[in-house]
């Protein structure tokens, strides 16, 4: 699993970290660099503090969510990934989108698999809420049971 804190980097570096960059894309880009989405291909990426993303980065993240496609900074070739995205934030993404402070990504992410964990604020352990994630099989194969039906929702309160 690849873990990434969206609030840890300035916006100028965030896009390069997530999507990668091509040689010469900006000053200091001496070679091709794979982004976090490419590193997570075939597995899972955890995006912490996703509510801190700018509207521009959110729009590009939405493309990854919907089409599993992206372009590196400074590139014109579209890459694809087979990944599971887990995102967390302490912000109300639906309210942010309603106020116009957030793009459709936040609404998509918050309604795809909403899980409100009130215990997080108290510091209580919440690891029991999350399923055991195996990186040995692709997310598309893991997402369905042997009957072909989607997985059940987690029992969140």
> Average pLDDT of 28-52?
91
Q: How far apart are the first and last CA of the chain?
A: 25
Query: Distance between CA 13 and CA 19 in Å, rounded?
Result: 10
Which one has a higher pLDDT value, 87 or 96?
87
DSSP state of 143: T
pTM: 0.66
> Average pLDDT of 124-150?
45
Q: Taking the alpha carbons of 117, 123, 128, 133 in that order, is the dihedral positive or negative? A: positive
> Average pLDDT of 19-44?
91
SS3 readout for 56-101: HHHHHHHHHHHHCEEECECCCCEEECCCEEEEECCCCHHHHHHHCC
- Percentages helix, strand, coil for the chain (3-state, rounded to 5) are 35, 15, 50
């Amino acid at each position: 699993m690849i873990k990434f804190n969206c609030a840890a980097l300035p916006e100028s570096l965030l896009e390069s970290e997530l999507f990668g960059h091509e040689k010469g894309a900006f000053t200091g880009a001496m070679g091709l660099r794979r982004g976090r989405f490419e590193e997570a291909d075939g597995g899972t990426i955890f995006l912490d503090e996703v509510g801190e993303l700018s509207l521009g980065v959110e729009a590009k993240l939405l493309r990854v969510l919907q089409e599993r496609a992206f372009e590196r900074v400074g590139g014109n070739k579209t890459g694809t990934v087979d990944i599971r995205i887990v995102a967390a934030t302490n912000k109300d993404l639906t309210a942010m989108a309603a106020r116009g402070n957030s793009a459709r990504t936040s609404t998509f992410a918050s309604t795809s698999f909403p899980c409100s964990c009130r215990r997080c604020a108290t510091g209580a352990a919440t690891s029991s809420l999350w399923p055991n994630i195996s990186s040995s099989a692709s997310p598309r194969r893991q997402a369905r049971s042997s009957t072909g039906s989607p997985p059940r929702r987690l029992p969140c309160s």
